[in-house]
């Protein structure tokens, strides 16, 4: 086996050296009856040539990967600068462990420190952690943290949160004695309903909102935060399309107490849903309640600056069942990819890419709105997603777009909302050219006519 | 002779600043195609009140060259598997193959949106399905979900499954009496933390002087009818196989509990023995350990949960299933599908389907090794650990007599008499060119040094490691200062972690710029 | 304090042995698919007398992990552009973009066989054609061949073209009298070597005290009717623009010769001035300098030859041409073709069409920069050199007054009075984290230090470099030993090159194994 | 421009700092009339997105890259282990210069030393250099070196040398006063004709042979070397298919004095003909006559082993017109790729890959020989190439194979030999499965029948 340095001969010599006669003896402490007396029923070894051919073959059976796409809904196609993959492919980064030994892990540690800083800058918050599994689990952990901070047990979630995120929160809180209240989005504006305040009370730990929300509508986070704070609850803001942070007022500036985001848009391939990276930021005063790892500045005896994992007393390996979270391995390499992305795009690039998304989306929405029989839902302002109500069944419409124009036109909302058979969630990014958009518009029109 | 080297202050590699300190207004590192639709005033799209008003101040402005140099320089401050042995016990730092990286980057996978229709993603679903099948075979536990993103996440999932199963079996009332999760004192911290997340309270089982689960204590703890389950690591975190595993499972089962196995140490067992055959009900695996997906400086991982047929209905949704035989199976475009129809499921633990890229790599690992290679890896890993155990016994104290499996634990008892502790030994190892072992874990061993070489190290390097450790043992006696002040060869010395935690600086701030180096 | 660090002897990174010393019988690093045809006795295919009988003894046996660690460790002993400024004068060590690397690896190019039919390779041919067109525009010289594999190869090609042209113009008899190639004393060594390859004898032109071609000397040398041509570098290797270039060309042309320009220094001119407009007849470019294709530790390069319309018929074959208008041009599958029909061609200088992968990268460079970016790069490169020239004038002697273009030369005159020479300064720079400049070239400057920062360095780093150089100048006075014994921070010190050349050991030998470290 | 660190503002400040007012002044030493007063007529700048799309588009117009292929003739498709590209893509290797400063170039230097050793081992020679441009120029340089060593001026080249290599020799020697004599291959055996000795005389500097030769025939190098040595000439052996060295007796063992090879088969992509790498090896006594760079062992004051460029007095930068060659930049990174390839495949892998090529080729030749109307030419033993005479025009046959079966069936020999319209040079490697071969055979048959 070419990944195992020691040859069979060497291994035999080593066995003898330590006084064993055969490899079987290595497993003497396992009761005989538990030893597997047959080969595993897994495939025989493949060469690189065969293996790659096999995977390439499987990949051809994912036609979805080859289409012009307007599918977003929590995972977005954006331009990824070539250097991102080059940097994260350096052995020194991708084959290192969690930086437990700071003297020989400063590369990783300094990069995480930069990641934490960038997350703070973009979200407008004071502190951020070294990453969570993804946006959905980060949001669930935010809810748990709100409960810890406020010692209250009710969570009010605005309805236009990504349905899968809501599911994850549901799972996480099911044994935590937390009451989860959903409020449906306003059918006209698409935002959190005006009367949300009625659900808030002095048991409320947090008001949770996603902005831009699942339907692409920008929420009035500042107004919501005021309402949450009025009852002493925390304002928790989730962002699934992190690129929006380049254009929209930061949640921090709107008064958020905890901000989480899915960082996939920052240089991470779609990769059928993962690995992505959860961003998690909050106020400085809650730093010791944060889940997950934190990197902080430190100095050696000679006064040289370095970085270390810090505030470890929050964590499972010290606090065990009293830890702020059970998270251990996080999304280090993906956080690094995001860091490289953010630094490469930089201040002006992040602004431009966000602006392009907004402009192209406005163009697309305006064109589609003019189509006979189509309407673009909701009055709220939007960033790069919007809901289209089509005159015919959305799934059929989408499958004709796919087969006739090689376009993935968006998400049929019926995937999550059985009562919305004619709605499509359309997402436009800087990667969709005007030609792509025009082709989508033409395709929608003709698919609905014939 | 080298006294004046300190004059070398501008060395750019060791001194690479934070990117924020390097930022220069006006630099750019990107270029987008020009906007190709008519530009509207931005306020016509988004009302001004919702627009950012800080002009993203503080976000760096650097060129592409700056970024490359920044990260390449920083990378040189890291140790990595590709540079040598990385013997972190419990972490299984094995070789991360390039082939697997290539597989994960195939455009047809890397570019696939998770919300693609099933028919548009048959290849991707088949990968998941195949991997599920292989992991079921390897663990002997037929129900598999790949949704959890890491080991701890898998633990949470598994424990929630136990809870849901008991809820269903005993009813809300009955179940409410079973809120105790038993966990050995040697267990990893994620175990109790995960148990807590599922609403269990933790009771700790003692280890015997031999380093195994204390059966007597276990029986006592099981006597009260409140036990929901046991979370056991096997081989345990001392590197010892729990030879009474069958008995242990029986005790717990008889007490109405279920057995969760922390599979972090599966590298000792793959192809040799199967948890399912031992009586284990549910397990998590760490694909980023046993199945070689890269640790990446702290993730991503993938922590699949495997369980018995009885527990399967409780696995997270969606499940990835093969459409059963008959006419449909012939249609290649819909052999595999997402199945949400598991009403007893604990629910979703993560958006989409888990860390898919890791699944591709793990499947490639399994295919590359073949069934014989998987066993060969296990044998080689255990042999390497035993070889080290053998090589170090004369110079270090081993807290337990039993032969270790894939990792071996030593204590600093002997060295600490001279004032040299595990931390010092670890730091001194750095000077010898090795990454230290896991230290101070498991907690039950004084000054624990947990060494896991994995199969990815050759004899020569094992010998060098043993030599280094023995040399440090001698230094500890003869020149303790040398060890106490280590490392001497790194860019920075030991950092003052206590000070860092007292007044944590967790981010760079704009104001700090002027003052920075 | 650090006296005992020498105890760190087993450090695996610095001590990585030769792969032959690591080899262990029985290790393997590869796997092929099983042979899928019926195996015949090998002697039935190849008679035994033609078969290897040494069983490839000595060829290493190592695992894939061994190979990865071997090269990753060794790589850490290198300095590279990605780590910082690499100011080798005349070498134009600019940023090698990843984008270009990606382009060169696109399967449709990387997997294309050079003997594919033209219609099967239209995309590949179009790349060559486009690049030819761009280089023609950049140099102002319309005839282009991309066949030469490096600068020196391009020189040979260009000089042979001159020879062939004169042969054709003057006939064998007339041409046989023109066997002199004029080359300035400051020229790169490849120039005379290439001239020699084409059967010319070299006469050396003196430089003026200003560092320019001595016109008077040139006129003298041109007075004998034996001059075939002049090989001139512009800006010359002192970094100075030959401001009399038009006059120079006229003198040579009037004497019946042709002007070859060594284009190694084109990074000073792209988008600003064109050799073709200056009177140059033929030039080579180094795509691995001006157009950023990576140096790769010593190649590969690509040394296109560009020439006037008059010389075009003599370029190497095959030429890559566009099929002229008319009905054929519409057929996308045959717009470009190989054209062998140039009876006056000097012939082929390389199998196939040259270092194609480098052409892809250079074209990507040109497209990424755009016309404005190309000029911007030139300006930035010249500015950076001028900035360094300005920053070092107080501490180092400049042999020439004129303002340099993209590189600047200093002499060690001042420092050598204290016994510190260019070599010492270069080695000491290493301690400061910089790669040294080009040293002892050009030969006409005493202890030459030729510094070319390129455009790929930011101001901060230029300042650090200047500071380092100035600091070394002070050390040379105050602590010369420090400089004379440099470098102090590297894995090995200065090597005894004289001893190495006296009894060269150019390979590892099996017998030596036992004795090796 | 994102590759230029200094922003326009910074550049303006720098200009002022050195006393200039504008960028134009940087070019004051260039006569006004020579300054380009317009923009270059080259394309406007493209973003990564646009640029990649453009190249991908061009790449689709190379259908030759997507076929099952039996095309060899000097460039071969072989399996390339994945790690090769990973290693040569490390910044430390691909962005370094020629190792002029040994203290910070030991990575490159040690790798070249290993390369030189491997080349010696495979060719059976005593010394090897750090690489040449490719096989063809290496052969031309070998001829020039033979002239230097022997001080004789006649070169006898066996006819079945790759025609492009012969062309390159022609170009290189045209002004060197060398007489080049070709001897056609024997029409029956395909090897150098028996009576080659008649062309050799005391003016002969070298007998040059390629083995396996252009037609795939293995030459009797030992016998040829004896003949060459009999007249005091050097035996120069060229190898275009370096994989053959894993199976065939090394040229050194056959008595060769100079051996060159094209190293492309050792882990280097086809890449439309380059960059490849020339291997160059000879006897120790000729070390000071070698063209190109050499790396040798050296020690520092503390006795630590390192490697340096050595015997530089042969080279152009010292000897100028008297140098052994004008070569400066060679093929460093490709030599590194070959080194990684050779070490990864290792002793057993090199043997196996060569054996597989020979076995599969034998299978293919045997099957084709049985086809009605087809014949496999030449009686000499072969490694992995052979000439097939087809009943119909070779080019037509090949274009039908391409269009009907997506197979590149080989090289129509008419490309080089106008008088051989019906001959195809077929190459089989380990990458051609039995299925591929069977499909080629079927395709040949049916294309010739209809
Ligand atoms: C024994 C054990 N259990 C659980 C875990 C947690 O796994 P993860 O870090 O993937 O969450 C670890 C990892 O360090 C471990 O060593
Ligand atoms: C001025 C000059 N001319 C010619 C060359 C030769 O170019 P190459 O190394 O590509 O053969 C060089 C390269 O070092 C050079 O600097």
pLDDT digit string (tens) for C305-332?
Answer: 999 999 999 999 999 999 975 554 455 5
Per-residue pLDDT tens digits for C177-217:
999 999 999 999 999 999 999 999 999 999 999 999 999 99
Mutate to test the interface with A, among C24, C31, C83 (most CBs of A within 10 A): C31
Is residue B406 in contact with ligand 1, taking CB distance under 6 Å?
Answer: no
Token pair listed for C235: 């800006």
Rg (CA), chain B: 26
In angstroms, rounded to a whole number, what is the distance separating the alpha carbons of residues B416 and A230?
Answer: 57
% residues pLDDT > 90 (chain B): 92
Give partners of A (≥3 CB pairs < 8 A): B, C, D
- Cβ atoms of C267 and C289 within 8 Å: the answer is yes
Q: Which ligand is nearest to the CA of B263?
A: 1
Chain C residue whose CA is closest to A1: C28
In angstroms, rounded to a whole number, what is the distance separating the alpha carbons of residues C178 and C63?
Answer: 60
Q: Whose CA is nearest to atom 16 of ligand 2?
A: C90
Q: Which of D187, C289, B83, C74 is nearest to A97 (CA)?
A: B83
Judge if the upstream peptide bond of residue D172 is cis by omega within 30 degrees of 0. no
User: Cβ–Cβ of A136/B490 closer than 8 Å?
Assistant: no
CA angle B309, B312, B314 (to 5 degrees): 145
- Cβ atoms of A107 and A95 within 8 Å: the answer is no
Please give, rounded to a whole number of angstroms, the shortest distance from the CA of B151 to a CA of chain A.
7
Q: pLDDT-derived band of residue C333, with 50, 70 and 90 as boundaries?
A: low
Q: What is the number of other CB atoms lying within 10 angstroms of the CB of residue B111?
A: 20
Per-residue pLDDT tens digits for C257-305:
999 999 999 999 999 999 999 999 999 999 999 999 999 999 999 999 9
Question: How many contacts does C have with D, using Cβ atoms within 8 A?
Answer: 699
% residues pLDDT > 90 (chain C): 92
CA of C286, closest atom in ligand 2? 10
Average pLDDT over residues B498-517: 78
The overall average pLDDT reported for chain C is 94
Judge if the upstream peptide bond of residue B487 is cis by omega within 30 degrees of 0. yes
- Cβ atoms of D297 and D113 within 8 Å: the answer is yes
Token pair listed for D167: 């062309």
SS3 A207: strand
φ, ψ at B327 (rounded to 5°): -60, -35
In this prediction, residue C326 carries a pLDDT of 54
Selecting from A6, A29, A62 the residue whose C-beta is nearest the C-beta of B112 gives: A62
In this prediction, residue A314 carries a pLDDT of 83
Q: pLDDT-derived band of residue D322, with 50, 70 and 90 as boundaries?
A: confident
% residues pLDDT > 70 (chain A): 100
Rg (CA), chain D: 25
| Ligand 2 centroid to residue C306 C-alpha, Å | 16
Q: pLDDT-derived band of residue C7, with 50, 70 and 90 as boundaries?
A: very low
D136 alpha-carbon distance from chain centroid: 7
In this prediction, residue C12 carries a pLDDT of 57
In this prediction, residue B332 carries a pLDDT of 54
Q: Which of C475, C271, C473 is nearest to C378 (CA)?
A: C271
Per-residue pLDDT tens digits for B158-196:
999 999 999 999 999 999 999 999 999 999 999 999 999
Chain B residue whose CA is closest to C469: B10
A306 inside 8 A of chain B by CB? yes
- Cβ atoms of D111 and D238 within 8 Å: the answer is no
Chain B residue whose CA is closest to D52: B33
Per-residue pLDDT tens digits for B381-419:
999 999 999 999 999 999 999 999 999 999 999 999 999
| Ligand 1 centroid to residue B151 C-alpha, Å | 5
Q: Which of B463, B472, B479 is nearest to B396 (CA)?
A: B472
Chain C residues touching D3 at Cβ < 8 A: 94-95, 97, 292, 368-369, 377, 455-456
Mutate to test the interface with A, among D51, D90, D340 (most CBs of A within 10 A): D90
Mutate to test the interface with A, among B261, B300, B354 (most CBs of A within 10 A): B300
% residues pLDDT > 70 (chain C): 94
Helices (H) and strands (E) in chain D, counts: 12, 15
Chain D residues touching C82 at Cβ < 8 A: 91-92, 95
C30 inside 8 A of chain A by CB? yes
In this prediction, residue B325 carries a pLDDT of 57
Reading phi first (left if > 0) and then psi (alpha if -120 to 50, else beta), residue B347 is in left
User: Cβ–Cβ of C45/D344 closer than 8 Å?
Assistant: no
Q: Which ligand is nearest to the CA of C233?
A: 2
Per-residue pLDDT tens digits for A174-208:
999 999 999 999 999 999 999 999 999 999 999 99
Chain C residues touching D147 at Cβ < 8 A: none
D58 inside 8 A of chain B by CB? no
Token pair listed for B282: 């549910």
Selecting from C68, C120, C189 the residue whose C-beta is nearest the C-beta of D320 gives: C189
Q: pLDDT-derived band of residue D313, with 50, 70 and 90 as boundaries?
A: confident
In angstroms, rounded to a whole number, what is the distance separating the alpha carbons of residues D445 and D372?
Answer: 8
Average pLDDT over residues D349-371: 98
Give the dihedral sign, CA B371/B372/B374/B379: positive
Mutate to test the interface with D, among A79, A85, A340, A343 (most CBs of D within 10 A): A79
Average pLDDT over residues A48-54: 98
In this prediction, residue D317 carries a pLDDT of 83
Q: DSSP labels for A39-107?
A: --SSPPP--HHHHHHHHHHHHHT-GGGGSEE---TT-------HHHHHHHTSHHHHT--S--SGGGBHH
Is residue B152 in contact with ligand 1, taking CB distance under 6 Å?
Answer: yes
User: Cβ–Cβ of B298/A11 closer than 8 Å?
Assistant: no
In angstroms, rounded to a whole number, what is the distance separating the alpha carbons of residues A129 and A144?
Answer: 16
- Given a cut of 60, whether residue B316 has pLDDT beyond it is yes
CA of B150, closest atom in ligand 1? 10
Chain A residues touching B115 at Cβ < 8 A: 71, 73-75, 411, 415
- Cβ atoms of C112 and D272 within 8 Å: the answer is yes
Q: Which ligand is nearest to the CA of B150?
A: 1
User: Cβ–Cβ of C30/A7 closer than 8 Å?
Assistant: no
Question: How many contacts does B have with C, using Cβ atoms within 8 A?
Answer: 124
In angstroms, rounded to a whole number, what is the distance separating the alpha carbons of residues B128 and C11?
Answer: 42
The overall average pLDDT reported for chain B is 94
Q: pLDDT-derived band of residue B326, with 50, 70 and 90 as boundaries?
A: low
Q: Which ligand is nearest to the CA of B286?
A: 1
Is residue B262 in contact with ligand 1, taking CB distance under 6 Å?
Answer: yes
8-state DSSP, C229: E
Token pair listed for B148: 């959890």
C237 inside 8 A of chain D by CB? no
Average pLDDT over residues A383-408: 96
The overall average pLDDT reported for chain A is 96
Judge if the upstream peptide bond of residue D7 is cis by omega within 30 degrees of 0. no
Selecting from D3, D9, D48 the residue whose C-beta is nearest the C-beta of B65 gives: D3
Strand partners, C362: none
Q: Which of B451, C72, D337, B427 is nearest to A92 (CA)?
A: C72
In this prediction, residue C332 carries a pLDDT of 55
Where helices occur in B255-355 by DSSP H, the ranges are: 275-278, 327-330
- Given a cut of 90, whether residue B330 has pLDDT beyond it is no
- Given a cut of 50, whether residue B122 has pLDDT beyond it is yes
Per-residue pLDDT tens digits for C337-374:
999 999 999 999 999 999 999 999 999 999 999 999 99
Selecting from D2, D47, D86 the residue whose C-beta is nearest the C-beta of B63 gives: D2
Pairing of strands D154-158, D204-210: parallel
Give the dihedral sign, CA A42/A45/A48/A52: negative
Residue in the structure block whose two tokens are 């262990």:
C24
φ, ψ at A335 (rounded to 5°): -60, -40
D49 inside 8 A of chain C by CB? no
Average pLDDT over residues A234-249: 98
Per-residue pLDDT tens digits for A98-142:
999 999 999 999 999 999 999 999 999 999 999 999 999 999 999
In this prediction, residue B4 carries a pLDDT of 40
In angstroms, rounded to a whole number, what is the distance separating the alpha carbons of residues D51 and D44?
Answer: 11
Q: What per-residue string of b and e applies to C63-97 under the rule 16 or more CB within 10 Å gives b?
A: bbbbbbbbbbbbbbbbbbbbbbbbbbbbbbbbbbb
Where helices occur in B32-121 by DSSP H, the ranges are: 42-45, 64-75, 98-104, 107-110
| Ligand 1 centroid to residue B301 C-alpha, Å | 10
| Ligand 2 centroid to residue C95 C-alpha, Å | 18
Q: pLDDT-derived band of residue D450, with 50, 70 and 90 as boundaries?
A: low
Is residue B264 in contact with ligand 1, taking CB distance under 6 Å?
Answer: yes
Chain C residues touching A82 at Cβ < 8 A: 97-99, 102
End-to-end CA distance of chain B: 28
On the CB side of C128, CA atoms within 13 Å amount to 32
- Given a cut of 70, whether residue B2 has pLDDT beyond it is no
User: Cβ–Cβ of D45/C458 closer than 8 Å?
Assistant: no
In this prediction, residue C331 carries a pLDDT of 52
Please give, rounded to a whole number of angstroms, the shortest distance from the CA of D82 to a CA of chain B.
6
Q: What is the number of other CB atoms lying within 10 angstroms of the CB of residue A447?
A: 21
- Cβ atoms of C87 and C347 within 8 Å: the answer is no
Q: Which ligand is nearest to the CA of C438?
A: 2
In this prediction, residue A218 carries a pLDDT of 98
Q: pLDDT-derived band of residue B489, with 50, 70 and 90 as boundaries?
A: confident
E strand map for C276-344: 282-284, 305-307, 319-322, 336-339
Where helices occur in A128-173 by DSSP H, the ranges are: 135-150, 163-173
Average pLDDT over residues C222-251: 97
Selecting from D79, D86, D90 the residue whose C-beta is nearest the C-beta of A49 gives: D79
- Cβ atoms of B62 and D40 within 8 Å: the answer is no
E strand map for B146-190: 180-184
Chain D (114-153) residues lying within 8 Å, Cβ to Cβ, of chain C = 114, 116-118, 120-122, 124, 126-128, 130-131, 133-137
- Given a cut of 70, whether residue A68 has pLDDT beyond it is yes
pTM over 0.95: yes
In this prediction, residue B511 carries a pLDDT of 74
Token pair listed for D322: 């008297």
User: Cβ–Cβ of C201/D325 closer than 8 Å?
Assistant: no
B477: buried, middle or exposed (CB in 10 Å: 19+, 13-18, 0-12)? Answer: middle
| Ligand 2 centroid to residue C92 C-alpha, Å | 10
Pairing of strands B408-410, B438-439: unpaired
Q: pLDDT-derived band of residue B327, with 50, 70 and 90 as boundaries?
A: low
């Amino acid at each position: 086996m070419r990944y195992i340095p020691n040859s069979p001969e060497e291994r035999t010599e080593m066995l003898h050296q330590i006084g064993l006669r055969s490899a079987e003896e290595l497993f003497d402490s396992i009761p005989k009856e538990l030893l597997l007396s047959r080969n595993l029923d897994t495939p025989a070894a493949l060469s690189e040539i065969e293996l790659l051919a096999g995977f390439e073959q499987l990949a051809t059976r994912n036609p979805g990967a080859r289409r012009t796409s307007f599918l977003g809904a929590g995972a977005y196609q954006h331009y990824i600068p070539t250097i991102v993959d080059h940097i994260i492919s350096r052995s020194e980064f991708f084959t290192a462990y969690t930086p437990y030994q700071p003297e020989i892990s400063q590369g990783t540690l300094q990069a995480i420190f930069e990641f934490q800083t960038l997350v703070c800058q973009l979200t407008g918050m004071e502190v951020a952690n070294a990453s969570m599994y993804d946006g959905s689990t980060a949001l669930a952990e935010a809810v748990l943290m709100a409960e810890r901070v406020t010692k209250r047990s009710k969570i009010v979630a605005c309805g236009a949160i990504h349905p899968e995120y809501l599911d994850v929160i549901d799972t996480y809180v099911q044994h935590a004695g937390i009451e989860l209240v959903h409020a449906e989005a306003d059918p006209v504006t698409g935002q959190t309903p005006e009367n949300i305040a009625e659900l808030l009370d002095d048991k409320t730990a947090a008001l949770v909102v996603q902005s831009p929300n699942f339907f692409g509508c920008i929420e009035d986070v500042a107004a919501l935060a005021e309402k949450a704070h009025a009852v002493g609850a925390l304002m928790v803001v989730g962002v699934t399309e992190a690129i929006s942070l380049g254009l929209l007022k930061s949640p921090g500036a709107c008064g958020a107490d905890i901000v989480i985001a899915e960082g996939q848009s920052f240089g991470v391939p779609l990769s059928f849903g993962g690995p992505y990276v959860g961003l998690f930021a909050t106020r400085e005063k809650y730093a010791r309640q944060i889940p997950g790892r934190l990197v902080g500045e430190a100095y050696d005896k000679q006064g040289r600056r370095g970085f270390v994992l810090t505030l470890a007393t929050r964590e499972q390996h010290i606090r065990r069942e009293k830890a702020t979270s059970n998270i251990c391995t996080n999304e280090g390499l993906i956080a690094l990819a995001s860091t490289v992305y953010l630094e490469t795009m930089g201040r002006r690039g992040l602004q431009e890419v966000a602006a392009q998304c907004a402009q192209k989306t406005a163009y697309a929405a305006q064109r589609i709105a003019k189509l006979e029989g189509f309407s673009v839902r909701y009055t709220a302002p939007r960033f790069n997603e919007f809901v289209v109500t089509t005159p015919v069944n959305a799934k059929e419409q989408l499958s004709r777009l796919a087969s006739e124009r090689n376009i993935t036109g968006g998400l049929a909302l019926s995937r999550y909302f059985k009562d919305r058979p004619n709605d499509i969630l359309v997402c436009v990014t800087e990667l969709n050219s005007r030609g792509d958009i025009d082709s989508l518009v033409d395709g929608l029109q003709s698919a609905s006519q014939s | 002779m080298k006294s004046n080297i300190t004059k070398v202050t501008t060395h750019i590699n060791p001194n690479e600043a934070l990117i924020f300190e390097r930022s220069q207004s006006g630099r750019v590192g990107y270029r987008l195609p020009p906007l190709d639709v008519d530009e509207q005033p931005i306020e016509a799209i988004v009302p001004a009140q919702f627009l950012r008003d800080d002009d993203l101040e503080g976000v760096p402005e650097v060129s592409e060259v700056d970024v490359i140099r920044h990260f390449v320089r920083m990378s040189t401050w890291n140790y990595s598997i590709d540079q040598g042995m990385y013997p972190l016990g419990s972490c299984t730092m094995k070789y991360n193959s390039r082939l697997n990286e290539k597989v994960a980057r195939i455009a047809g996978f890397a570019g696939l949106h998770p919300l693609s229709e099933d028919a548009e993603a048959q290849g991707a679903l088949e990968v998941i399905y195949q991997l599920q099948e292989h992991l079921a075979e390897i663990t002997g536990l037929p129900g598999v979900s790949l949704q959890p993103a890491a080991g701890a996440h898998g633990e949470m999932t598994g424990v929630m499954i136990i809870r849901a199963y008991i809820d269903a079996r005993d009813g809300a009332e009955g179940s409410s009496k079973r809120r105790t999760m038993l966990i050995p004192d040697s267990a990893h911290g994620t175990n109790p933390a995960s148990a807590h997340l599922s609403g269990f309270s933790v009771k700790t089982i003692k280890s015997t002087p031999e380093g195994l689960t204390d059966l007597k204590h276990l029986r006592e703890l099981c006597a009260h009818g409140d036990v929901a389950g046991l979370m056991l690591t096997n081989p345990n975190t001392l590197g010892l196989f729990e030879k009474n595993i069958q008995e242990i499972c029986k005790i717990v089962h008889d007490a109405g509990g279920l057995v969760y196995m922390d599979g972090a140490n599966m590298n000792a067992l793959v192809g040799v023995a199967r948890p399912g055959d031992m009586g284990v009900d549910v397990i998590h695996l760490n694909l980023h350990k046993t199945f070689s997906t890269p640790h990446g400086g702290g993730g991503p991982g993938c922590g699949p949960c495997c369980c018995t047929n009885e527990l399967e209905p409780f696995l997270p949704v969606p499940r990835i299933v093969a459409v059963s035989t008959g006419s449909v199976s012939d249609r290649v475009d819909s052999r595999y599908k997402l199945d949400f129809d598991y009403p007893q499921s604990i629910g979703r633990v993560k958006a989409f389907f888990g860390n898919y890229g890791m699944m591709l790599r793990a499947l490639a690992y399994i295919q590359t090794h073949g069934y014989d290679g998987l066993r060969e890896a296990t044998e080689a890993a255990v042999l390497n650990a035993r070889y080290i155990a053998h090589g170090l016994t004369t110079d270090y104290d081993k807290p337990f007599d039993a032969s270790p499996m894939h990792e071996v634990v030593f204590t600093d008892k002997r060295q600490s008499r001279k004032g040299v502790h595990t931390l010092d030994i670890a730091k001194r190892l750095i000077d010898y060119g090795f990454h230290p072992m896991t230290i101070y874990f498991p907690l039950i061993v004084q000054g624990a040094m947990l060494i896991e070489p994995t199969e990815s190290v050759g004899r020569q390097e094992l010998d060098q490691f043993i030599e280094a450790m023995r040399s440090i043992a001698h230094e500890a006696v003869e020149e303790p200062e040398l060890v106490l002040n280590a490392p001497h060869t790194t860019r920075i010395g030991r950092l003052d972690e206590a000070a860092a935690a007292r007044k944590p600086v967790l981010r760079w701030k704009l104001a700090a710029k002027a003052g920075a180096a």
